[in-house]
Amino acid sequence: MYRKKRGHKKNRRIEAVNIPIELYQSEKGRYFVGYADELDFGKGKSAWARLYNPPKSKVNLHVNVWTVSDVSESTFRAQFWFNADPPGKPFTSKFVTSANTAIEPIPKPKIKLQFSKNVTGEPTGGIKAFVRRAQPETTLVDVENGKFIFPPGGSFLVFISNPESPNIKTSGRIAFGWWEEPINCSSRK
């Protein structure tokens, strides 16, 4: 209850609506989802998928969510690298779309979802930020709320292998949700 104070106008309630940042970015046509499928690895080989921000993109990449799933044959390890160079030849996933399909034309991402399978070696350069281990038929997932931010030339890489079950060949899927914020609109000064 608000009371009128002497010499002051009556206090007014301010109505506010909180919109999740993901919804806000999707309404702007800046939120995208995608995945890399049939990532074969095992028997001394690994696989990876990454969100790569090309050097001339003019956007900052905000990683919102990632998942590693459909690994059914063995235990596995997922390493998460910032700005690393992965082994193998990168391929671009065709399984990428804007989360907002109501905009015409449908927005196209500047970020590339790249992948490679049955690779030898580990990523170089960059930083191995964290590692997760999982059992077969377990999905690893985390929501980062856009806190992992990569400028042009940067990347967020998920590198999967099965060192605890080295004689088993398997495959998996890596998926991402992200938004792209134009650099001239970022909060960076």
**What pLDDT, in 10s, does the model give residues 106-153?**
999 999 999 999 999 999 999 999 999 999 999 999 999 999 999 999
* Any domain includes 11: no
Confidence of residue 11 (pLDDT cuts 50, 70, 90): confident
Q: Are 132 and 63 contacting, i.e. CB atoms less than 8 angstroms apart? A: no
* Any domain includes 81: yes
**What pLDDT, in 10s, does the model give residues 19-45?**
999 999 999 999 999 999 999 999 999
Question: What is the number of domains present in the chain?
Answer: 1
Domain of residue 83: give its range. 34-185
* Any domain includes 108: yes
With tokens 């209850």, the residue in question is 1
Q: Are 61 and 178 contacting, i.e. CB atoms less than 8 angstroms apart? A: yes
* Any domain includes 63: yes
* Any domain includes 166: yes
Q: Are 70 and 171 contacting, i.e. CB atoms less than 8 angstroms apart? A: yes
* Any domain includes 24: no
- The pLDDT of 37-62, averaged and rounded, is 97
**What pLDDT, in 10s, does the model give residues 156-189?**
999 999 999 989 999 999 999 999 999 975 444 4
* Any domain includes 19: no
* Any domain includes 38: yes
Nearest to 121 by CA among 97, 150, 87: 87
Q: Are 156 and 148 contacting, i.e. CB atoms less than 8 angstroms apart? A: yes
pLDDT at 73: 85
pLDDT for residue 2 is more than 50:
no
The reported pTM is: 0.88
